[in-house]
Amino acid sequence: MQQGGNARTGIERRTILKAAGASLAVAGLGATATACGGGSGSADGTVTIRYAWWGGEPRAIAIKKSIALFEKKYPKIKIKPEFTDYEAFWEKFQTQASGGNPPDVFQNAVAFLRKYDKRGVLMDLKTQADAGNLSLDNFRNGVLAAGQADGKQLGVPVGANTMSLVIDLKAFRKAGVQPEFGWTWDEYFEALQTIQDKLKIAGDTGYFTIMYLYDLYLRQNGKAFFTDSALGFTEDDLTRWWEDGYKRVRSGLVADPKKIEQVKPKSGLSAGLAASEFTWDNFSIRYEGEGESDYGLAPIPTTDGKDTGQYLGSLMLSAFTGTQHPKEVAQFIDFMVHDPEVGKIMGYDRGILATTEQYEAYAPSDGPDKGVKAYEEEVAAAGVLGKITPHPSGADVIEAAFLRIGGEVAQGKAKPADAARTLFSEAKAAFAG
């Protein structure tokens, strides 16, 4: 791993990456397309498979362009698209899966892999790779592992992202604060105190309610949020994390959660309520579209001056194990993750492109995508990327609970120790579900 001392050179150019001039790539919600029944076939040998995803209108437009390319190459395979926003997608998917009628191919994420594998919904895509219908080669920086659990390939990544710290560049410069690779949590909070003292705004929007950031902190300390079947930390661990967070809310170092709530759906960072916010790096483009300042990506604080705990997360494509057309489904997934033209069309809408063919085919032209690419390359070069921990069944429920209960702590509605007890109780129920 790259040592903190050596990594502190050339920081302004290399680790604070300006994101400029973009609108939110996932803004707006696409109209939901409905479909009934599973994949179908016709008398001339043409088959139809259903492909479902969540996201906004720009993503839908790009995916439909990609589908048109696929159908040109494979004229005997027709793709029926279904798309909606995130919450509606999973509500609908749960109903479809329970009825034995999920889409043949669908967008997926790590929190749902074991949940739906446990229910017999997900195909092990290694079977199609072994049959020669799908390539599992040429995935970058070990991201293929994001789709693996229990020895199976349950999803194939289409993009990769990692947690980052988005900062208001003007605020940090005015305060004379310079983030550095390898800086510690103490140094981060000292920087936020300087910002508060000099600019009279909060330093952070609410770091301690983000499950994936807490996971990084735990990984820095030899633990992780999840083990294969349970939580990987104690109630005492979480109580301390939330106690520290609430102290910083009361001191004004973390923004008032009521004010954060009032500006939604705008971020507290782009609304000028705070100077920094932790989020996935490819989400960072939203701030330029929402805010009046300039925003950039800065390094994740560390415990020991070198280990950030970071790993690559991913959106991925999964397949229904009961599809009537497994070969065609595999061919479609293969095309969507490897075809260079698809890479050019999709860009970084779903994260940095996961395969070398698509990564090399797409040259970012705007500031935000260039910034995200440079940030991930810097993190990879630092040697800090670890392997993602598979999420147990129920992880999606626990993530939502962590955000909700952490928010109650931030608002002073729940004491940290009581909140931690509640989270563990809800996690136990989620794991049993």
Task: Show the domain range for 428.
Answer: 6-22+163-309+389-432
CATH assignment of the domain containing 138:
3.40.190.10
Say if residue 277 is in the same domain as residue 170: yes
Number of domains in the chain: 2
Residue 224 to residue 214: CA distance in whole angstroms: 9
Residue 92 to residue 98: CA distance in whole angstroms: 10
Q: Is 203 a member of any domain?
A: yes
Say if residue 72 is in the same domain as residue 150: yes
CB 163 within 8 A of CB 216: yes
Say if residue 271 is in the same domain as residue 291: yes
Q: Is 383 a member of any domain?
A: no
Band of the pLDDT at 283, cuts 50, 70, 90? Answer: confident
Q: What is the per-residue pLDDT for 5?
A: 36
Longest dimension (CA), the chain: 73
Say if residue 58 is in the same domain as residue 118: yes
Q: Is 63 a member of any domain?
A: yes
What pTM does this model have? 0.85
Say if residue 269 is in the same domain as residue 203: yes
What tokens appear for 199 in the block?
């600019």
When mean pLDDT is compared across 74-88, 109-123, 175-189, 377-391, the lowest value belongs to: 377-391
Q: What is the per-residue pLDDT for 41?
A: 66
Q: What is the per-residue pLDDT for 26?
A: 31
pLDDT at 167 over 80: yes
Residue 259 to residue 28: CA distance in whole angstroms: 23
Say if residue 192 is in the same domain as residue 244: yes
* Rounded alpha-carbon distances, angstroms, from residue 264 to 151, 257, 273, 398, 410: 41, 11, 12, 23, 16
Angle (CA) 113-115-117 rounded to 5° is 65
Q: Is 376 a member of any domain?
A: no
Say if residue 140 is in the same domain as residue 196: no
Torsion of CA 123, 129, 135, 136, to 10 degrees: 70
Q: Is 30 a member of any domain?
A: no
Q: What is the per-residue pLDDT for 209?
A: 96
Find all residues with CB under 8 Å of 391, minimum gap 6, and list them: 110, 111, 113, 114, 226
Residue 338 to residue 354: CA distance in whole angstroms: 9
Closest CA to 117 of 68, 88, 146, 155: 155
Residue type, 132: G
pLDDT at 32 over 80: no
Band of the pLDDT at 238, cuts 50, 70, 90? Answer: very high
Of 17 and 360, the one with more pLDDT: 360
Say if residue 361 is in the same domain as residue 333: yes
Say if residue 123 is in the same domain as residue 102: yes
Say if residue 218 is in the same domain as residue 244: yes
